[in-house]
């Protein structure tokens, strides 16, 4: 059995096991009654939301590539995005997603160095948008994390913003170079080279971000629209279950908060953490006995369906031989 086949089988077992466990532990006597009220049109609405999300994601990548003085088509950008979903879900911490993006960008004619920088910028813009949303979420949704006050969460958010500012200013002014060198001296050769490579690409990414502020503002707005459309899958599913009186600000805020955490998840594609976090955050919002089913449906539409499309594009572009090597 090839390495890819083993990873694919492990992922299938992991996803199936987590999904089954989440559903099994959350169903009750109300489940069937509430599911009979489900409106199938909400699935089409959810798929439409994902479609819009992918469009905005492709559009922002096209604009990013244009800012770097390269050019790709919308179709090529969409291939990059789906390729990211595919390899991210197959690797711990979604590390394969960055590799996939660079591979597809190289195939589209973007030099490797620029491709690596564009991948970092794309990720930074998404995280920055989510981070900007955090204060508004914590001010509105008291007790979003049981046992942790919103004051502490606000303090953590402020510390993160200060860290971002320090990184940007330090990289631009050069005094962060000394910190990186100090850390590098305490690492082995391989780790040292990786650190220097990452720092070089990060500095290039920051220069790209600050070098074209107007164009980057458009890309930032597209990043926000992309994420909001993807997260809108859950409100679509709730509407299908007949939930019309929910606090939609809170629903979207909790989706943003959950997905911010998933950026730092060590599991492939956030598997397990995503479903568990969803149950914790939305148990009181969805109809009784359906929170686990909604969690699994959300992941199927927003994560596993793009994964399968990414699998198709990867095989189409790079051939089956790539899967044997990966």
Question: Distance (Å, rounded) from C-alpha 64 to C-alpha 130?
Answer: 19
Close Cβ partners of 312 (under 8 Å, ≥ 6 residues apart): 82
pTM, 2 dp: 0.88
Task: Assign 91 a pLDDT band (cuts: 50, 70, 90).
Answer: confident
- With a cut of 80, say whether residue 325 has pLDDT above it: no
For helices 291-299 and 233-240, what crossing angle results, to 10°? 140
Which pLDDT value is given to residue 280? Answer: 92
Please determine, for residue 189, whether its predicted confidence score (pLDDT) is greater than 80.
no
Quick one: what percent of the chain has pLDDT higher than 90?
47
The predicted structure's pLDDT at residue 93: 61
For residue 78, give the nearest of 61, 94, 64, 90 by alpha carbon.
Answer: 61
Q: Which of 220, 234, 314, 303 is nearest to 262 (CA)?
A: 303
Q: Residue 82 — very low, low, confident or very high, per pLDDT cuts 50/70/90?
A: very high
The structure tokens 């992991």 sit at 14
Residue-wise pLDDT for 125-184, tens only, equals 898 899 899 999 988 888 788 778 888 888 888 888 888 888 888 887 878 888 888 888
Give residue 94's pLDDT band: very low, low, confident or very high (50, 70, 90).
Answer: low
Q: Are 110 and 70 in contact (CB under 8 A)?
A: yes
Instruction: Name every residue whose Cβ is closer than 8 Å to that of residue 73 and which is 6 or more positions away in sequence.
Output: 62, 108
**Range of 156's domain?**
3-325
Inter-residue contact 171 to 203 (CB < 8 Å) = yes
Total domains in the fold of the chain: 1
222: pLDDT strictly greater than 70: yes
Average pLDDT in the 96-120 region?
89
Give the percent of the chain with pLDDT over 70. Answer: 97
Indicate whether 297 pLDDT > 90: yes
pLDDT value of position 21: 94
Q: For residue 165, what pLDDT is reported?
A: 82
- Quick one: how far is CA 255 from the chain centroid? 11
What integer is the mean pLDDT of 24-43? 92
Place of tokens 């009181």: 284
pLDDT tops 90 at residue 279: yes
The encoded tokens of residue 9 equal: 């089988």
Distance from C-alpha of 192 to C-alpha of 215, rounded to nearest angstrom: 34
pLDDT for residue 268: 78
| Average pLDDT score, the chain | 88
State the Cα–Cα distance between residues 167 and 206, nearest whole angstrom.
9
């Amino acid at each position: 059995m090839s390495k890819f086949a083993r990873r694919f089988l492990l992922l299938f077992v992991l996803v199936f096991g987590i999904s089954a466990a989440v559903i099994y532990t959350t169903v009750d006597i109300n489940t069937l009654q509430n599911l009979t009220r489900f409106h199938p049109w909400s699935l089409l609405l959810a798929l439409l939301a994902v479609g819009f999300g992918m469009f905005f994601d492709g559009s922002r990548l096209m604009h990013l590539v244009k800012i770097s003085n390269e050019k790709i088509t919308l179709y090529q950008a969409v291939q990059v995005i789906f390729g990211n979903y595919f390899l991210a879900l197959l690797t711990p911490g979604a590390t394969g997603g960055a590799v996939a993006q660079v591979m597809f960008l190289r195939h589209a004619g973007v030099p490797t160095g620029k491709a690596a920088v564009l991948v970092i910028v794309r990720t930074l813009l998404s995280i920055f948008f989510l981070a900007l949303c955090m204060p508004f979420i914590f001010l509105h949704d008291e007790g979003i994390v049981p046992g942790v006050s919103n004051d502490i969460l606000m303090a953590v958010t402020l510390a993160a913003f200060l860290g971002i500012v320090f990184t940007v200013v330090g990289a631009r002014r050069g005094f962060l170079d000394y910190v990186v060198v100090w850390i590098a001296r305490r690492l082995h050769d391989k780790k040292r080279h990786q650190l220097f490579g990452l720092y070089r690409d990060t500095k290039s990414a920051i220069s790209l971000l600050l070098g074209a502020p107007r164009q980057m503002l458009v890309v930032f707005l597209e990043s926000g629209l992309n994420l909001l459309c993807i997260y809108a899958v859950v409100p679509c599913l709730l509407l299908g279950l007949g939930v019309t009186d929910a606090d939609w600000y809170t629903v979207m805020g909790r989706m943003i908060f959950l997905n911010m955490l998933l950026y730092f998840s060590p599991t492939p594609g956030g598997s397990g953490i995503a479903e568990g976090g969803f149950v914790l955050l939305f148990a009181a919002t969805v109809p009784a006995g359906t929170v686990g089913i909604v969690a699994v449906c959300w992941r199927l539409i927003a994560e596993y369906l793009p994964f399968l499309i990414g699998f198709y594009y990867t095989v189409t572009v790079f051939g089956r031989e790539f899967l044997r090597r990966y």
